[in-house]
Every structure is written in C-alpha cells, then in structure tokens.
Amino acid sequence: MKLNRALVKEELPAYWAERRRLFASERADLGEVGQLDSVGLAFLVQWSQALAESGRQLRLDSPPATFYPLADLYGVSSLFQLTDNPSGSHNGSE
C-alpha cells in the first residue's frame, strides 16, 4: 500500500478513515511520506498489531529518516520488516 501523505498528527484523521483498507495490507510504501512523528509511528504500530493477530508482519518500504530514531526510542523496531534504509543505520548517528 503506497502512502503519499505525511504520517503526522494533522493527517491522522484521513489515515484513520482508511484503516480497514490499509490494515489489510502487509506492505506500506513510505517513500513519499516525507514526515513521520510519534502519532504516525503509533498508527504504524496499530497497523502492525492488527496484522500480528493473524500471524503476519508489516513490511515498511523506504521509511523516512525520522522513523528510525523514533522506533528505536519507543522500542518498536522489531514490529516491522524494514527495507530501503538509505543510511544503513537505525539511529541516524552513523
């Protein structure tokens, strides 16, 4: 599923309205997301948990750079399969 709006508090109502369709997909292409805040991360965690109920895992393609430090800070990186990390690091400090 390709997401094309920022995953931030202001956009969450639009994503929440689409959650049934989104949460059915095991893949989220975040290449055009650009911004992600803690509210957006919480939405991805809910998506991941919805899939986990049926033994599936959410794959995130091209997450924005802000994903990695937030996911590490909140300890949720293991909930996702990650691809296309442009820096090759998870904490942005390398």
Break the chain into its structural domains and give their ranges.
9-83
Predicted local distance difference test score (pLDDT) of residue 84 = 72
Question: Does the 9-83 domain belong in CATH 1.10.150.120?
Answer: no
Contact 54, 22 (CB under 8 A): no
Mean pLDDT calculated for residue range 30-34: 94
What does pTM read for this prediction?
0.87
- Reading the block at residue 75, the tokens are 């300890």
Average pLDDT of span 76-88 = 79
Distance from first CA to last CA of the chain, Å, rounded? 30
42-75 per-position pLDDT tens digit = 999 999 999 999 999 999 999 999 999 999 999 9
